[in-house]
Amino acid sequence: MKVCIAEKPSVAKDIAEILGAKQRNDGYFEGNGYQVTWTFGHLCTLKEPHDYNENWKYWKLEDLPIAPDNFGIKLIDNQGVEKQFNTIARLVQNCDEVINCGDAGQEGELIQRWVLLKAKCAVPIKRLWISSLTEEAIKEGFEALQPSENYDNLYQAGTARAMGDWMLGINGTRLFTKKFGQGKSTLSIGRVQTPTLAMIVQRHKEIEAFDVREYWELKTKYKKQEFTCQISRLRSKEKADQGLEYLKNKEFEITSFEQKEGKEGNPRMYDLTSLQVDANKKYGFSADETLKLIQGLYEKKLTTYPRVDTTYLTEDLHPKFPNILKGMRYYSRFTESVLAKPIPKSSTVFNDKKVTDHHAIIPTGVTVSGVSRPEQQIYDLIAKRFIAVFYPPCIVSNTTVLGKVDKLEFKATGKQILELGWRTIYTADKSDVASKDDDVIMPHFEKGEKGPHTPSIHKGKTSPPKYFTEATLLRGMESAGKHVEDEEMRELMKDNGIGRPSTRANIIETLFRRKYIEKKRKNIIATTTGIALIDTIQNELLKSAELTGDWERKIRLIEKGEYQLDVFKTELNTMVRSLTDEVIFNTPSSVQFFQEPKKIVKEKTKRTKKEYSFEDIDCPKCKVAKLAKGKAAIGCKDFGTCGFKVPFILMGKKLTSAQLTDLVSKSKTKTIKGFIRPSDGEKLQGKFFLNDNFNVSFEQG
């Protein structure tokens, strides 16, 4: 008998179906020589301090640092966890072979290895390693099972990460809480969360300390083209006025006119971080929301494995691309031109050396169905990016014109798109197309030509740095605090980033939950508690993004077999011991922590019934005519041509005016209770949304 252990019940069900294990038992499927069971997240965890020493249950400075000689694991204290583990342990003890079908990544490997270790597995173990959950991918994976030993380095890296987080989290939090918490608050310290918070606090202080200054610039217009004077910004109005007088009554002369044709390179495939960045910019999704949405698409077999940190694909995928593109039926207007020619095997897209665990996130080619509106938005980002990679480059014309008035030099630049190339895919999306300011057709100038001009003064103010948004914070974490725009440089910085793509969203959410940061519109702001905590930490190691990035690099080296876990553990113990001694003996304890000001609760005022007018809303389908309210539905005034309508009663429930307004103006309602499913009369709750064909669909939950 072979026992397969999947990452969750839904994946186990898919695997069991393919293997022919059709009989459902309590906690597993069985049949055709297989038993398919599952975990659900972490069933095991590292032991807590009091599991090693009863005295370590109490938080005392004199006990620090807590450093077990050998780390142990234990079951998470939960009846459901215990029951499922006992099922797995029983199956493992009575089988001939175990197939690890866990999530194909560092954390997934750790979860399964800990369970097998706790279950005292003594039989051979194979590893299923797949990048999507399609039937084809699962079958191919079972035909190419690998020995578990091939992934020992991955397990070692996961172990190093878990031990490091435990050592710094347990010791750091107890250390700073007992030293500075004044018995009132727990001061949470973490390997990733603390340098992330330090980045946010540093930006806050830079903004607070910024000295806004006025400045003046000299400009002039010649043949309706504006030129800027190439001298330093002027700090006084008087000097600007003198400059303006100097320019008057003198001719403007063109000294250089240069046009260069260039290419805007195609965007890269998505890794998790770049997907989270774009989803935040375009739709306002948090990093955590995007991770959940892309995980949902992966489990629905629509996209490949999401927790990846590469923008490259493996070379063996190249022959599969025509079928993937053909499967993307809703994007056929874009894919036809790509399929008309052989797909190039470019090294900027296909490169085995740039892929470790998994390749970039791409569609699987399975036709999209049964997705929510947010999931569709995420899928659309991935699908368009996937296609854009294989389009021709965007051809632009860059123009630079230099001129002078007597001894003062002036400059003007412009860019014009000559051929859209890959930008064709985004022409309907204003946020993805070059702005109008970039696409400027400049007049033609001849070197040496002269003529009258109109000089002027532009007054401006210096701008402070911008607050982090989730998008820019993710980029900052990825590049260890360095501002990096270039895609090639991003790839080189990834080994030194803060955290991993799969954990960054949770780190940000943790900082929100602990009230160290807050969100104002899209901006992430450090709270007074967060600022006070960072000010308390004198040890630069805890706050430094680059040093934390170096730690991340060592974990990656362990994964590659180029660094030893024992060496890492020794360095870890030395670092924590040094930190403990420094804080206890060398850091003053007179630090004041402030409570966040309580929000003023406004007195409740009597609510008045809001009037809704559908006649003022544009039809979401044709976007030309307005809506009209009939006896049984809201519909487009040009219904004969457009055909859009929404009935008042859906699934046995009459929608309120507010719910109908949300549906036609925001494309979805809030969660509504009391629906009745016509087929069996079951009561449901969920949301209505407009699908791609502008018909009403229902999302349960």
User: Mean pLDDT, to the nearest integer, of 27-34?
Assistant: 97
Q: Does the pLDDT at position 157 exceed 80?
A: yes
| Among the listed residues 88, 106, 81, 39, the one whose alpha carbon sits nearest the alpha carbon of residue 558 | 106
DSSP 118-170: HTT--S-EEE---S--SHHHHHHHHHT-EEGGGGHHHHHHHHHHHHHHHHHHH
User: Mean pLDDT, to the nearest integer, of 67-85?
Assistant: 94
Q: Which amino acid is at 624?
A: V
Same domain membership, residue 120 and residue 23 = yes
pLDDT of residue 293: 96
DSSP 161-213: HHHHHHHHHHHHHHHHHHHHSTTT------TTHHHHHHHHHHHHHHHHH----
User: Mean pLDDT, to the nearest integer, of 168-181?
Assistant: 92
pLDDT of residue 173: 94
Task: Report helix, strand or coil for 595.
Answer: coil
Domain end residue (candidates: 363, 388, 413): 388
Tokens 């998790």, located at residue: 272
Name the percent of the chain lying above pLDDT 90.
67
What are all long-range contacts of 487-491, with beta carbons under 8 Å and residues at least 24 apart? 487/268, 487/311, 491/310, 491/311, 491/354
pTM: 0.76
Mean pLDDT across the chain: 88
Same domain membership, residue 481 and residue 437 = no
Rounded Cα gap, residues 310 and 115, in angstroms:
29
Rounded Cα gap, residues 107 and 153, in angstroms:
12
Opening angle at CA 8, ends 6 and 14, nearest 5: 70
Q: Does the pLDDT at position 67 exceed 90?
A: yes
Opening angle at CA 689, ends 684 and 692, nearest 5: 135
pLDDT of residue 66: 96
pLDDT of residue 241: 96
User: Mean pLDDT, to the nearest integer, of 179-188?
Assistant: 83
Residue 121 lies in a domain: yes
Give the lowest-confidence range in 402-416, 475-489, 577-591: 475-489
User: Mean pLDDT, to the nearest integer, of 195-218?
Assistant: 94
Q: Does the pLDDT at position 31 exceed 70?
A: yes
Q: Where are the alpha helices (DSSP H) in 443-563?
A: 470-478, 487-493, 501-513, 528-536, 540-543, 545-560
pLDDT of residue 562: 94
Residue 154 contacts residue 106 (beta carbons within 8 Å)? yes
Task: Report helix, strand or coil for 621.
Answer: coil
Rounded Cα gap, residues 640 and 629, in angstroms:
15
Q: Residue 680's pLDDT band (boundaries 50, 70, 90)?
A: very low
Q: At what angle do helices 528-536 and 193-209 cross, to 10 degrees?
A: 110
Residue 608 lies in a domain: no
User: Mean pLDDT, to the nearest integer, of 577-596?
Assistant: 71
Same domain membership, residue 398 and residue 262 = yes
Domain end residue (candidates: 436, 461, 486): 461
Q: Does the pLDDT at position 184 exceed 90?
A: no
Same domain membership, residue 137 and residue 70 = yes
Domain end residue (candidates: 586, 605, 640): 586
CATH number for 575: 1.10.460.10
Rounded Cα gap, residues 84 and 52, in angstroms:
26
Q: Does the pLDDT at position 683 exceed 70?
A: no
Domain range for 629: 614-700
Q: Residue 24's pLDDT band (boundaries 50, 70, 90)?
A: very high
Rounded Cα gap, residues 213 and 210, in angstroms:
9
User: Which residues neighbour 669 within 8 Å (Cβ) at sequence distance 6 or greater?
Assistant: 655, 659, 662, 663, 687, 688, 689
Q: CA of 316: how far to CAs of 345, 359, 390, in Å?
A: 10, 11, 17
Instruction: Spot the catalytic one: 28, 270, 305, 391.
Output: 305
Same domain membership, residue 260 and residue 334 = no
Q: Residue 481's pLDDT band (boundaries 50, 70, 90)?
A: low
Task: Report helix, strand or coil for 257.
Answer: strand
Q: Residue 594's pLDDT band (boundaries 50, 70, 90)?
A: very low
The strand pair at 696-700 and 653-654 is best described as unpaired
**Tally of domains within the chain:** 5
| Among the listed residues 450, 398, 448, 400, the one whose alpha carbon sits nearest the alpha carbon of residue 223 | 450
Rounded Cα gap, residues 51 and 536, in angstroms:
31
Q: Does the pLDDT at position 606 exceed 60?
A: no
Look at 651 and 414; give whichever has higher pLDDT.
414
Residue 138 lies in a domain: yes
Same domain membership, residue 398 and residue 379 = no
Q: Is 58 a catalytic residue?
A: no
pLDDT of residue 433: 38
pLDDT of residue 435: 41
Burial of residue 531 (number of CB atoms within 10 Å: 0-12, 13-18, 19+): buried
Q: Does the pLDDT at position 492 exceed 70?
A: no
pLDDT of residue 546: 67
Over residues 616-643, the pLDDT tens digits come to: 788 888 777 888 888 778 888 877 777 7
Residue 315 contacts residue 352 (beta carbons within 8 Å)? yes
Helix (H) or strand (E) holding 282: helix 272-283
pLDDT of residue 652: 65
Residue 461 contacts residue 281 (beta carbons within 8 Å)? no
Give the lowest-confidence range in 10-24, 236-250, 487-501: 487-501
Over residues 521-560, the pLDDT tens digits come to: 899 999 999 999 999 888 887 888 766 777 888 998 999 9
Residue 154 lies in a domain: no
User: Mean pLDDT, to the nearest integer, of 101-118?
Assistant: 94
Residue 675 lies in a domain: yes
Same domain membership, residue 523 and residue 410 = no
Residue 697 contacts residue 668 (beta carbons within 8 Å)? no
Same domain membership, residue 658 and residue 548 = no
Residue 150 lies in a domain: no
Residue 647 contacts residue 654 (beta carbons within 8 Å)? no
Q: Does the pLDDT at position 608 exceed 80?
A: no
Same domain membership, residue 140 and residue 7 = yes
The strand pair at 2-6 and 97-101 is best described as parallel
User: Mean pLDDT, to the nearest integer, of 31-55?
Assistant: 95
Same domain membership, residue 621 and residue 509 = no
Q: Residue 673's pLDDT band (boundaries 50, 70, 90)?
A: confident
pLDDT of residue 593: 52
Residue 442 lies in a domain: yes
Residue 104 contacts residue 357 (beta carbons within 8 Å)? yes
Residue 283 lies in a domain: yes
Over residues 406-456, the pLDDT tens digits come to: 999 999 999 889 999 999 999 866 555 334 445 567 888 999 999 999 999
User: Mean pLDDT, to the nearest integer, of 15-26?
Assistant: 96
Same domain membership, residue 359 and residue 289 = yes
Asked if the bond preceding 65 is cis, omega within 30° of 0, the reply is: yes
Same domain membership, residue 437 and residue 568 = no
CATH number for 83: 3.40.50.140
